Chains A and B, each alone.
Chain A
């Protein structure tokens, strides 16, 4: 069975600093990988996804992630964090089927941004 580990439960960065959120997955086949963001009281919003091809994927809000098969990782990065980026971030792996994606989520990383 697939699983996702996000080692950092909380991260605090200063506004304008760079950010990297870690994600490790366990999955026997080629994974479909996702990063979602969840603001308080809101649903999940997709930041970016990796299905195949270029291992560096660009997403919305200036985020990017790099797929490293050898390390079973899919870390999320942003060069300069804004106060509005404070939220909870979830990495997910999918077992795709003809109907869509059944997502297995990690436990999440809560990002706090210092002014």
Chain B
């Protein structure tokens, strides 16, 4: 079974530029998450989708971050404009979405460096 796919693996941009990350969850997984992991910290949830709807985006900085999952499968996370403090690894995860007694499977992440 293929895992959670993310691209690109690495991205370097200048501040004030925009960037987008892509995630393809495990086939059949209804729930998709985006996490931000700043160096030396644990991951922090940004947004949770179930199918194509947002379950929770309370920690997403909506002035510059946006995310969509239009067809309920793959998802994109965008930052516009980027700031230096956005340098982090962006992790995508998916789960079957059948209640809390489920495991989330994580992708390898996209490492973003803002210079």
Contacts and interface: CB of A to CB of B under 8 A. Distances in A.
Interface of A: 4, 32, 36, 41-46, 49, 51, 90, 92, 94, 96-108
Given A51-B101, A96-B99, A100-B48, A43 B41 contact: no
B100 A97 contact: yes
Interface in B93-112: 93, 95-97, 99-109
B50 interface: yes
A49 B100 CA distance: 11
Given A105-B43, A106-B42, A100 B102 contact: yes
Contact of A43 (B42, B96, B109): B109
Q: Which of A32, A46, A100, A102 has the most CB of B within 10 A?
A: A100
Contacts of B44: 105
Main secondary structure of the interface of B (DSSP, over half): loop
Given A99-B30, A102-B45, A46 B56 contact: no
Range of interface residues on chain B?
20 to 34
Interface of B: 4, 30-31, 33, 35, 40-45, 48, 50, 55-56, 91, 93, 95-97, 99-109
B45 A104 contact: yes
Contacts of B104: 46, 100-101, 103
A45 B50 CA distance: 22
A44 B30 contact: no
B95 A101 contact: yes
Given A32-B100, A102-B45, A43 B4 contact: yes
Contact of A99 (B43, B50, B108): B50
A99 B97 contact: yes
The 5 closest A-B pairs by CB, nearest first: A96-B100, A105-B42, A43-B106, A99-B50, A100-B31
A90 B100 contact: no
